[in-house]
Amino acid sequence: SQQGEEDPQALSIQEGENATMNCSYKTSINNLQWYRQNSGRGLVHLILIRSNEREKHSGRLRVTLDTSKKSSSLLITASRAADTASYFCATTLTARLTFGTGTRLQVTL
């Protein structure tokens, strides 16, 4: 299975702090994507990093990819209460996405 594993499963931080989530996967990939899911809602695409890229930024998001270790990290800087959600990494080799197990992030005031 190519399913990714996120670490930690749950993370609780205070507003203003940084949040780091990690993802490990098992097979070759074309790209890796991060998605956010608010409770009871569909997934929202956050950022995509291709297999030949090592780091990518988008606003307060920073993603790294280490294909030799088959791992990725998502850093959310200066977190806000609105960042409270579950975060999933997803890998793709063909058109299909294989999602990880997710990290539940709780940002408190």
Partner 1 sequence: DAGVIQSPRHEVTEMGQEVTLRCKPISGHNSLFWYRQTMMRGLELLIYFNNNVPIDDSGMPEDRFSAKMPNASFSTLKIQPSEPRDSAVYFCASSLVRDEQYFGPGTRLTVT
Q: What are phi and psi of 81, to 5 degrees?
A: -55, -35
Size of residue set near partner 1 by CB under 8 A: 22
Q: What are phi and psi of 54, to 5 degrees?
A: -110, -25
Closest CA to 51 of 64, 34, 36: 64
Question: Which of 39, 68, 95, 109 forms a contact with partner 1 (CB under 8 A)?
Answer: 95
13 vs 97, beta carbon nearer partner 1: 97
Instruction: Count how many Cα atoms sit within 13 Å of the Cα of residue 60 in the half-sphere of its side chain.
Output: 12
Question: Which of 31, 51, 67, 106 forms a contact with partner 1 (CB under 8 A)?
Answer: 31
Chain residues binding partner 1 by CB under 8 A are 3, 30-31, 33, 35, 41-45, 48, 88, 92, 94-102
